[in-house]
Amino acid sequence: MQIRFDNKVVLLTGGGGGIGRASALAFASAGAKVAVTDRDVAAGEETTAQVKALGAEALFIAADVMQAAQVQAMVAQVVAHFGRLDCAFNNAGIEEEHMRLADCEEATFDRIMGVNVKGVWLCMKYQIAQMLAQGGGAIVNTASVAGLVGAPKMSAYSASKHAVIGLTKSAAVEYGRKGIRVNAVCPGVIRTVMLERAVQADPKVAATVAGAHPIGRIGEPDEVAAAVLWLSSDASSFVTGLAHTVDGGLTSI
């Protein structure tokens, strides 16, 4: 089955690279009109340029998902430009800790929860309001396998991703009868900037995490993007409240 998004409008946060960029390009290739957002203007504009190079309509919006006014304005700008909002991929997120819980600084905890939890909550708040007004839509949030199991030396990150899954399931129940589906993707270790930072800190990490996945390798951003597109499409029309793993079997161990 070929998944298409012709004449559909898609909003992605954290679109400046990695899973966000791969998803933006995948949506564009499937016919969508794509709004890319990121705090990193240069990275976001580069993704937008790549989307346009595929022949798709695209818009870049610089936004901090922790700021309610910016998120509200972001959604309003998408609707003003494209006329509606059919799908949203809330992908913006950070991880800044590789330490035991008692060693994590309060400021680090607050920053992780601010972006990963408050950011997703704010995005859904304003996206859902628009989708209610127009009669439906689909939302996908980026959680993590760390939202399904414990993650040593990443307690705040793990807590934030458990919270994303809780927000996802609650919203799915609340708005299912209003034509709004809400799901989450839970990636394993994916070849992104986050992984690059971890490898720079400890070169042994790459081989260790690759071997931890039963499939025997690290995942690619395109593989997560494929799941995001399916969850956003009519092909998954009876799917909501799902925390969908894309983890090479990691959580099956």
The residues that are catalytic are 157
Give the sign of the dihedral formed by CA 119, CA 111, CA 153, CA 194: positive
Which burial class, exposed, middle or buried, applies to 113 when counting CB atoms under 10 A from its CB (0-12, 13-18, 19+)?
middle
Q: Which amino acid is at 200?
A: Q
DSSP codes, 61-127? EE--TT-HHHHHHHHHHHHHHHS---EEEE--------B-GGG--HHHHHHHHIIIIIHHHHHHHHH
The answer to whether the CB of 34 falls within 8 A of the CB of 27 is: yes
Q: Please, what is the end-to-end C-alpha distance for the chain in angstroms?
A: 30
33: number of CA atoms within 13 Å, CB side?
13
> What whole-number distance in Å separates Cα of residue 90 and Cα of residue 226?
15
